[in-house]
Structure 1
Amino acid sequence: MKRALHDLASLVARIGVGGIFFANGWQKLEDGITQTGARFAEQGATAPNAWATVTMLTELIGGALLIAGLAVSVVGLVLFAEALAVFVAAPPINPISLNELILLGAASILLAVVGAGRVSVDQMVVIRRREAEAADEFAADNEADQVIASFREPDELEDTAPHPVPGPRQEEPASDVLVAGRKKPAPRSRKSADVDE
């Protein structure tokens, strides 16, 4: 539930902030570079036509990307930098007031940090890429298993039957010893010697 609320908030913020940036860029486009540049010149900006072009393109492209949720981390930073540059270089021109410019800059940096949420092109691209990487990895593992299995022949398979473990070798006592080609008789006990005598 918390994740869904986060995604919804990110979507609303992206549409709101991106929509305002896009609308301002569109206004500059409709007014034309010359008229927008003249307004920047009135505000004291140096190179007003360059400012007009850069801000118009940044707001149009950045606003559209923010709404779509594509490269939000980078776009949020770029829009923040653009808002900061306009704030430093010249007071905001209509229809944006100084307060709106500060809010747009703050919201842009917040979106850059928080991200686009799951309802975005970024998330769709990331999910598809991760699924493709997982499928490739799974296929590679299966192929490796098949190659290993092909090297094993049926008679080379491990013998898992239990075998007795050989212990230390014990020599059996010799009952007969050969001496000069004949068997040496077993030694006589003392009792049997007394009986013979």
Structure 2
Amino acid sequence: MNNPLIRDIGLLIARVGLGLVFLVHGLQKLVTWGQAGTTAGFEGMGVPAPSVSAFVATWIEVLGGAALILGLLVPIFGVLLFLQMLAAFFLVHVGNGVYVTDGGYELVTALGLGALLLAVVGAGSFSIDRFLAPKVSFVRAA
């Protein structure tokens, strides 16, 4: 679809949806489980440096989720969220098959690729990034 308004509405919906999922997962780590509980969970899953990994994962999800919702620094947070999901894929989920009910990788794959897609295409017009990004014009050489 080549309609800019439809594209921007689609990007807004995707950003808010993905951002909410990341945000609530990060808040779950922060508020429900706390640093100690999240660290213990990461340790039980065999994640390296579980205390540091738990802290970093929590804040990438909280800040990244909020950033996607607002459309703020989406290329940066999209890449960070993608890399976090890539780590989760290889460190925790890949050996469990596809289905999330079996501890599989379907959710981290969808979230990671969605975040990567937003990082590549940008936040769209209904975002803070629209006002932060410099206007660049490319002139075609004759």
Please give the TM-score of this superposition, normalised by the length of structure 1. 0.60
Percent pairwise identity: 37
Structure 2 stretches of 5 or more lacking a match? 95-99, 136-142
The answer on 1:101 being equivalent to 2:98 is: no
**Cα deviation code 1:38-69 (max 9, x no counterpart):** 11111111221111101001000111111110
Matched to 2:29, the amino acid is K
More RCO (CA 8 Å, sep 6+): 2
Mapped to 2, the partners of 1:98 and 1:16 lie a distance apart of 19
Matched to 1:68, the amino acid is L
Match runs of 1:146-157 below 5 Å? none
Match runs of 1:81-100 below 5 Å? 81-91=83-93, 98-100=105-107
More helix by share: 2
Mapped to 2, the partners of 1:119 and 1:21 lie a distance apart of 20
Contact 1:80 1:104 survives alignment (8 Å): yes
- Residue 127 (structure 2) aligns with: 120
Matched to 1:26, the amino acid is L
The answer on 1:74 being equivalent to 2:54 is: no
Moved over 4 A (4+): 94-97
Matched to 1:44, the amino acid is G
Mapped to 2, the partners of 1:116 and 1:54 lie a distance apart of 23
- The total of aligned residue pairs comes to 127
Mapped to 1, the partners of 2:48 and 2:78 lie a distance apart of 25
Contact 1:21 1:63 survives alignment (8 Å): yes
**Cα deviation code 1:58-94 (max 9, x no counterpart):** 00011111111011111111110111012122239x9
Matched to 2:10, the amino acid is A
The answer on 1:16 being equivalent to 2:17 is: yes
Match runs of 1:1-197 below 5 Å? 2-30=3-31, 31-91=33-93, 98-126=105-133
CA RMSD of aligned residues (A): 2.1
Please give the TM-score of this superposition, normalised by the length of structure 2. 0.82
Matched to 1:12, the amino acid is I
Higher-Rg structure is 1
